[in-house]
Structure 1
């Protein structure tokens, strides 16, 4: 089957945390025989901060963020068997969603793929005319990258025919152990862009911990932190490209995951960095969220913290030996149960089932 995928960016992770999720899922689908074209706008300086060249497993189309550029790429939707509009493209989101519904063939599957479902659902509750809310009756399916039963139920209540979570996972071809890199030497490292609904939790779980442990070294990577007031033992290093993620995860004593407010409230939404860190054999400390046991076992494969005080307590007693054991256990778990090859198998099964149902209706 041919897939036309309209998303934020496949080539760049710059202000685009979904990049590795797209790459992992779509590469694995390509290995299952899907022909994929990924359409992304030239916007937000992402093309100046590419992490990868156009991959062999997908046709990459970068279009001008103009009405003419939009029209040209929407015209290609008619050649696909599956047409996907992802959330958070950043430009022409409403027009893209309306456009794929208009341009897709009658026999094509049209899918909304939500990589920030909690935020989208909040918007739909507040806006009766929200474009996704209006489009749901016409969409064949909603995929989300997490959220568990709460997100599925909420989407169904808004009128989605079907909602299937396809969780973040590990791409074993790109995330794996590497030698440590002195640039990332620290006791605790954290990697995420600065966003309003994440900042207070970062202050609690990361900056409060750093202030309580002045003798330890802390590292924060990601866009937007340069002008944030921080303790002296915290180094803000800016954007870290995906090519350096393995070293960023392998070098520190431990790495931290902090969910955004909305994701922590819903649960069942492990971020990409959880699997990237585990796949690199890192010792991961994460804030507490519902459903974590589905992915990693607390105290054996991950350390769980309720607040900054818990993070500090974990660090005080964390030997290199224990950190290494936790990292190895986590790596074994995600390689066995949480790879993008397994996620793509789920997607493939859903798509084939929908296509077969469509054929039966036509017949």
Structure 2
């Protein structure tokens, strides 16, 4: 590092992890950025949904500022945005298209996009849905950080005109996520907000095994599940689990289950932060399959792949403690070596430092001057 960078992030939420995966992703990344000696300001739209459910209102690794509207954002923080070394806008920011146009108009030194939902974003854009990002805006970004790697990076460049698309996977804070030493309470657990496209897999990979193994204990934690779901009697439900309780939750499981959204499966190379968190807590992983998973966690070595209910049942019945511990140890080493907050922060900072503040200005100047 040559000097301290001043970075401003406009994201969906840092203060509340309720019903979104953005908060934990930003927390891990920005904690790593701050530990590396850089300054971060996070600007979050003050919306009732998150305001009433905040579990981190005063972070110790960045300045968290709330704004009520795009007009207030510009009136109060235009100079801050214009003078920062980099401005990073995240996916699903309220009125994201308007925000990006307004920030672009300020001509920041470096304008970046962090897409924590890349497969969803690209699917929406192909349908003409520009909820938080317009297709015309993509070439204006100096860096397009993508939650997905592999062929998605090629698509961003070739189909959508991104000049510098780079994978920036989620990461885990190893100081926060570690095994608590708690007694194993559940044989299999799952942590995730209800999603219609994930529900069939949850039925197949957790609820059906629970019915077949009534002597074992299961748990599902997460909000927004419909009240008409008929949970097996040996499946415990937890409505919401704040990040401060995630490590304890994982530590109490003999296995944890990962289920991937349909868009992420189709894209491949889209690891969930839950995989990294559970691995950091030395909890053995069971996951559905998607292209690229072996580059993060080699099957049978660092996790168990489950396509059918029988795969889960077999793992729960046949893998002994020694085998479970070997899988957990291999996954932990993978995460500690390549997917910690510190590692991801270095990737993020290196990418920013490798782009000159005036790079490609001529190419993007006209786009950045488009009226908001």
Map 1:242-253; keep pairs closer than 5 Å: 242-253=243-254
Moved over 4 A (4+): 359-362
CA contact (8 A) 2:90 2:116 kept: yes
CA RMSD of aligned residues (A): 2.3
Deviations along 1:124-146, one digit per CA (max 9) or x if unpaired, are 11118674312012221210122
SS of the residue corresponding to residue 134 of structure 2 reads helix
> Residues 221 and 88 of structure 1: is their aligned pair in 2 closer, same or farther, counting only changes over 3 Å?
same
Is residue 2 from structure 1 mapped to residue 20 from structure 2 by the alignment? Answer: no
Shift of 1:103: 2.5
Equivalent in the alignment of 2:316: 315
Equivalent in the alignment of 1:205: 205
CA contact (8 A) 1:121 1:154 kept: no
SS of the residue corresponding to residue 37 of structure 2 reads coil
**2 CA distance for matches of 1:359 and 1:143?**
17
**2 CA distance for matches of 1:128 and 1:116?**
14
Is residue 100 from structure 1 mapped to residue 108 from structure 2 by the alignment? Answer: no
**1 CA distance for matches of 2:261 and 2:224?**
15
Between stretches 280-289 and 310-319, larger displacement belongs to 310-319
Deviations along 1:13-53, one digit per CA (max 9) or x if unpaired, are 11121212111111112222321100112225323332334
Name stretches of at least 5 consecutive residues in structure 2 with no aligned partner: 364-372
**1 CA distance for matches of 2:193 and 2:58?**
24
TM-score where L is the length of structure 2:
0.89
Shift of 1:305: 1.1
Equivalent in the alignment of 1:186: 186
Higher relative contact order (CA 8 A, sep 6+): 2
Deviations along 1:65-115, one digit per CA (max 9) or x if unpaired, are x454444465242231211110023x222222222212343xx11111100
Equivalent in the alignment of 1:287: 288
**1 CA distance for matches of 2:48 and 2:288?**
30
CA contact (8 A) 2:207 2:231 kept: yes
Equivalent in the alignment of 2:368: none
> Residues 74 and 103 of structure 1: is their aligned pair in 2 closer, same or farther, counting only changes over 3 Å?
farther
- The count of aligned residue pairs is 355
Equivalent in the alignment of 2:366: none
Name stretches of at least 5 consecutive residues in structure 1 with no aligned partner: none
CA contact (8 A) 1:225 1:236 kept: no
Shift of 1:256: 0.4
